[in-house]
Amino acid sequence: MPDIHSQKILILDFGSQYTQLIARRVREAHVYCELHPFDMEFSAIRAFAPSGIILSGGPMSVYEPGAPAVAEELFELGVPVLGICYGMQLMSLHFGGEVVPAGKREFGHAELVACGHPGMLYDGFFAEGKSPVWMSHGDHVSVVPPGFEVVAQTANAPVCAIQDEQRRLYGVQFHPEVNHTPRGEIFIDTFVRKVCGCSGQWTPGKIIEDAVARIRHDVGTERVILGLSGGVDSSVAAALIHRAIGDQLTCVFVDNGLLRLAEGDQVMATFAENLGVKVIRVNAEERFLAALAGESDPERKRKIIGGLFVEIFDEESSRIQDACWLAQGTIYPDVIESAGAKTGKAHNIKSHHNVGGLPEHMKLKLLEPLRELFKDEVRSIGEELGLPHQMVWRHPFPGPGLGVRILGEVKKEYADILRQADAIYIEELYSSGHYHKISQAFAVFLPVKSVGVMGDGRTYEYVVALRAVETKDFMTAGWYPLPYEDLARISGRIINEVKGINRVVYDISSKPPATIEWE
């Protein structure tokens, strides 16, 4: 079996909000890549042995004191290098070009016009010598470095794309990684496949083969325990590990009473009954509700739920005397965001339930078979492993569950009401064909009462808010325009079928300024 990591792209991050998108576009070309900070030691870069390097954009000017830079030896490695936005400016400066503040800052759509020999990299990118692109910059290259030629320009950036084909060095001022650049995926695919010579070995089937071989090699005949939540990540991790080592895996499913309607039974049916995975179910609703009593702060609730999960999981796993490994469904964005929080290069908005949340005294070895994968890759291998389509492609669900979709204090009454309302909402989205067009949808319980009229009588009951968003990357999101007739039907069903609700509202805020989840 070929080594699916042998051909790989190194992405150096200069602080762009789009850097993860670059990595996802490379992976979509079926090529492995890793994202590292710009100040990665050159010895580590050389040891990584990249087939090509991409320098990301960033918020700073190359002339600012302390502006990010890379080891000069990087350009002597002899592998193709693509600089995007700040990366292009940095490369230009390194090779003797000049960068100046633009007379007019450029943010948004622009038309890229070819003005020279496009070369291999632009094969399929231009249509009749033009291509719409997305710009986000203040500085631009004013003098092209010796040996480089200008390939394309926009009305505001006369030097918008440069290349030195002999040394395989390329720079673009626009952002090919974002969806607003319509043929951007073709551009990145061409760079990694044609320019860098990667053959596209990073496919679901080969990822599974590689992961199974590595798990068997690392684990041997030892036993593994895994905290199964029913979410996509832990479910795919469980199925993958089970394929590798079978009965050596034991899953502990902690039902915290904050799951979706009938979710606990669905988890047991999928894994214990259909796949034959050993699953220990712990019904811990009372313990979680008792621990959350009186607490309304969102971050405190997250920590209480996460801490109690670890405590209960610890109790159950201690009964499995011969376990040597703890498996987690950690995925690549968890790793990136955790590293960013530790280095101070990313702002920690919400605490994560994976990566860095393990007790220091833990004696078990850690097994994280998904830690190199993005969510869409996890879903793809989940289907390849035979997990139910509806489980694999269900919308994201937060680690603390309904605990952060019940605003303020968590009570059993609130959780029961929310479960029913959410189930009706999701059922209607499926039946109307909207579910798979929406990136994430859910109901939120508001602990306020409003006056209503039902059956000629006055009511004073709770409010539920419905949320549905469209997004490609979950960094930004727009609200989903559900048709009025669908909203009316969903609202009518919830009010008529869920005792305790007499008002339903629809959240039409985007991210930013709002977040997707309410807490």
Annotated binding-site residues read: 229-235
Any idea which residue has 């231009």 for tokens?
Answer: 126
> Residue 448: CA atoms inside 13 Å, Cβ hemisphere, count?
10
- Helix extents (H) in 175-284: 184-190, 204-219, 232-245, 263-268
Distance CA 366, CA 293 (A): 33
472: left (phi over 0), alpha (psi -120 to 50) or beta: alpha
Catalytic one among 177, 263, 372, 377? 177
Identify whether 519 is a catalytic site residue.
no
Identify whether 140 is a catalytic site residue.
no
Do the Cβ atoms of 351 and 323 come closer than 8 Å?
Answer: no
Catalytic one among 140, 175, 242, 352? 175
Q: Which residues are annotated as a binding site for ATP?
A: 229-235
Distance CA 160, CA 151 (A): 8
Please give the C-alpha separations between residue 359 and each of 197, 249, 302, 314, 355, in angstroms, as whole numbers: 43, 21, 16, 10, 11
Token pair listed for 272 = 């214990």
- Helix extents (H) in 220-296: 232-245, 263-268, 285-292
Identify whether 85 is a catalytic site residue.
yes
Distance CA 112, CA 95 (A): 24
| CA dihedral (468, 185, 176, 90) positive or negative | positive
Do the Cβ atoms of 502 and 417 come closer than 8 Å?
Answer: no
DSSP for residue 29: T
Catalytic one among 85, 160, 196, 198? 85
The residues that are catalytic are 85, 175, 177
